[in-house]
Amino acid sequence: MRILQALSGAALLLGLNGAFASSALAHAFLDHAEPRVGSTVHASPPELRLSFTQELEPAFSTVVVEDEKGTRVDKGDVRVDANDATLLRVSLNPLPPGAYKVIWRVVSVDTHPTEGDFTFQVAP
Amino acid sequence: MRPPALRTAIPNPVRPRSPVAASPWSSHRTAILIVLACVSWASARAAAHGFAGQRFFPATLVTDDPFVADEMSLPTISLVPNPAADGAPSTVEYDFSVDLSKRITPNFGIEISQTWQTIKTTGAGNSSISGFANLEIGAKYLLLVNGPHEFLLSTGVGAEIGGSGSSSLGVDHFSTISPGLFFGKGLGDLPKGLSFLRPFAVTGVLSLGFPTQAKTTTDSGDVQQNPHVLGTGLAIEYSLPYLQASVMDIGLRSPFSRLIPLVEFNFQTPLDRGQQGLATGIICPGFIWSTSYFQIGFEALIPANPRTGHNVGAIGQLHFYLDDMFPRSVGKPLFGGR
């Protein structure tokens, strides 16, 4: 019986979170990225994709990709995906082997801002 | 008497008591005092959550942290068993607390906390007493946030309102005012070679409790000294969300990607009136699971020394981020918000 009560409680909480999530409020946390955070890829990725936990406000959400010298290597065409408002995308120039830093700052649709950065590497 | 796991703006110190007489009621009362002392270092309060740069700090359970926020803990539940000692029966204490924090401006907020306590004797002659602990209120001001270094500093004051709780619990009939200083620091600015230490963060508090009466007389006629008490709290946490989003995606997915293991330390050290150095404290390992709108936390309550107690208790909390749930209404500051 206690197990059932615990499961019921967990279901209630998950449902509660889902109910609020459906209204797309709160801070947007980075859920995952492609290339993955801290990863090493063996070919230059054509695009960087950042997936967040909340829908984003396109006008105030941005991302920059820099090489080790601080030179910007993305094409500047930052956009929120037309079919998925939690996905931020930017095209990349061909990346030679090296380390790259991703610096993002987004605003969720209820105006909560969040920011972050991470690196990935391109190997020969 | 400090209620266990009381969650107000400022950690309120435990005030060690003079022994009470050994009448039957006094023995019972002694047991109550011991039990309450065993958990009172958990005198945290409506701890707050927030950001400094890319660092998200969750609301800790038994120590206060530096943020000012709109949030609510409903409920915080703790359980502490205590063995028989000095003629007093063994007991189990259950606490049910509600805490509410409200921002007045983006950097200034107020907090209120109330606890319902039940103390049950175990073994032969089972009995129990219940009632409200003294009401606790507080205010906090965020002084500084440094995003790149994930650092923040705030100051505040908390007050336990003497005599506002149930007399059956032996609550204090004097108030205690506790100014404090709070800090938080994430290690995200560590060099590249120490990347896997970057998810670590610490929050802490230093407070000083001033009782409004230097000594009081108990119902049984004993005189007890009420010392000034230094309160120190520290929380060390390792954020798996930070690891995933800022250091390396190791493939964790929900619910594990939202876990923050932590250890909290909370100590109360009397400074004068014959009780200097008689510190009590607890060590609280556990975890917090944080979502976008609420968090759930569980921790063990381990006495740090024999003076504090001998039995391990537990605390659990459901904590709502009102500023994220209702950003356009009750979750925004009364003045100066977006």
* Local confidence band at B30 (pLDDT 50, 70, 90 cut-offs): very low
- Chain A CB contacts of B75 below 8 Å: none
Find, among B154, B155, B153, B148, the residue nearest to B187 by Cα: B148
Q: How confident is the model at residue B115 (pLDDT cuts 50, 70, 90)?
A: very high
pLDDT confidence of residue B254: 84
Name the token pair of B136: 């606790």
Res. B13 pLDDT band, cuts 50 70 90: very low
Q: Which residue has the higher pLDDT, B310 or B27?
A: B310
Contact between B245 and A17 using a beta-carbon 8 Å cutoff: no
Beta-carbon count within 10 A of B215 CB: 13
Name the closest residue on chain B to residue A35, using Cα atoms. Answer: B249
Name which residue leads in pLDDT, B95 or A3: B95
Residue in A closest to B293 by C-alpha: A17
Chain B residues with CB inside 8 Å of A114's CB? 51, 54
Whether A60 contacts chain B with CB within 8 A: no
**Alpha-carbon gap: B301 to the closest alpha carbon of chain A (Å):** 22
Q: Which residues of B sit within 8 Å Cβ distance of A? A: 51, 53-54, 56, 147, 195, 241, 244-249, 257, 291-294, 296, 318, 321, 324-325, 327-328, 338
Evaluate whether B5 touches B315 at the Cβ level (below 8 Å): yes
Residue B169 banded pLDDT, cuts 50, 70, 90: confident
Q: Which residues of A touch B318 (CB under 8 A)?
A: 13
Mean pLDDT of chain B: 84
pLDDT at residue B43 is higher than 70 = no
Say what the pLDDT of residue B48 is.
65
Of B147, B195, B293, the CB nearest to A17: B293
**Residue B304 burial (CB count, 10 A):** 17
Alpha-carbon distance of B123 to B127, in angstroms, equals 9
Q: B3 vs A46, which has greater pLDDT?
A: A46
What local confidence, expressed as pLDDT, does residue B299 receive? 98
Task: Flag if B244 and A20 touch (Cβ within 8 Å).
Answer: no
Which CB contacts under 8 angstroms, 24+ apart, belong to A72-76? A73/A100, A74/A48
Point out the residue among B147, B292, B338 whose CB comes nearest to the CB of A53. B292
Rounded to the nearest angstrom, the gap between the alpha carbon of residue B177 and the centroid of all alpha carbons in its chain is 16
Least confident of B28-37, B200-209, B245-254, B271-280: B28-37
Of B147, B245, B325, the CB nearest to A30: B245
Whether residue B6 is predicted with pLDDT greater than 60 in this model: the reply is no
pLDDT attached to residue B83: 76
Nearest chain B CA: its distance from A5 CA (Å): 16
B247 pLDDT band, cuts 50/70/90, is very high
Pairwise CA distance, residues B72 & B58, whole Å: 13
The pLDDT of residue A23: 42
Whether the CB-CB separation of A26 and A112 falls below 8 Å is answered with yes
Residues A94, A67 contacting (CB under 8 angstroms): no
By C-alpha distance, the chain A residue nearest B320 is A17
**Model confidence band, residue B38 (pLDDT cutoffs 50, 70, 90):** very low
Q: Residues B1-26: what's their mean pLDDT?
A: 32
Task: Report d(CA B44, CA B61) in Å as an integer.
Answer: 7
pLDDT at B31: 39
State the amino acid at position B9 in one-letter form.
Answer: A
Question: B interface mutation test: which of A20, A102, A111, A117 has the most B CBs within 10 A?
Answer: A20
Residue B300 has pLDDT above 70, yes or no: yes
pLDDT at A25: 54
A121 → chain B, closest CA residue = B248
Band of pLDDT at residue B9, cut at 50, 70 and 90: very low
Inter-residue contact A38 to A118 (CB < 8 Å): yes
Q: Which residues pair with B110 in a beta bridge?
A: B102, B139
Question: CB distance B147–A17 less than 8 Å?
Answer: no
* Length of chain B in terms of residues written: 338
Chain A contact set for B330 (CB, 8 A) = none
Q: Which of A25, A27, A37 lies at the smallest CB-CB distance from B247? A: A37
Q: Which of A32, A56, A57 to mutate to test the interface with B (most CBs of B within 10 A)?
A: A32
**Residue A54: its chain B contacts at CB < 8 A?**
292
CA distance B64 to B84: 31
Three-state secondary-structure class, residue A19:
helix
Minimum Cα–Cα distance from B254: chain A residue = A31
* B-chain residues near A53 (CB < 8 A): 292
Cβ contact A29–B56 (<8 Å)? yes
Cβ separation A27–B248 shorter than 8 A: no
* B34 has pLDDT over 50: no
A25-34, A63-72, B183-192, B290-299: least confident range: A25-34
- Give yes or no for a contact between B296 and B289, defined as CB atoms under 8 angstroms apart: yes
Rounded CA separation B176/A109 (Å): 43
Evaluate if residue B179 carries a pLDDT over 70: yes
Instruction: Look up the pTM and report it.
Output: 0.83
**Residues of chain A scoring pLDDT < 50:** 1-4, 6-8, 10-12, 14-24
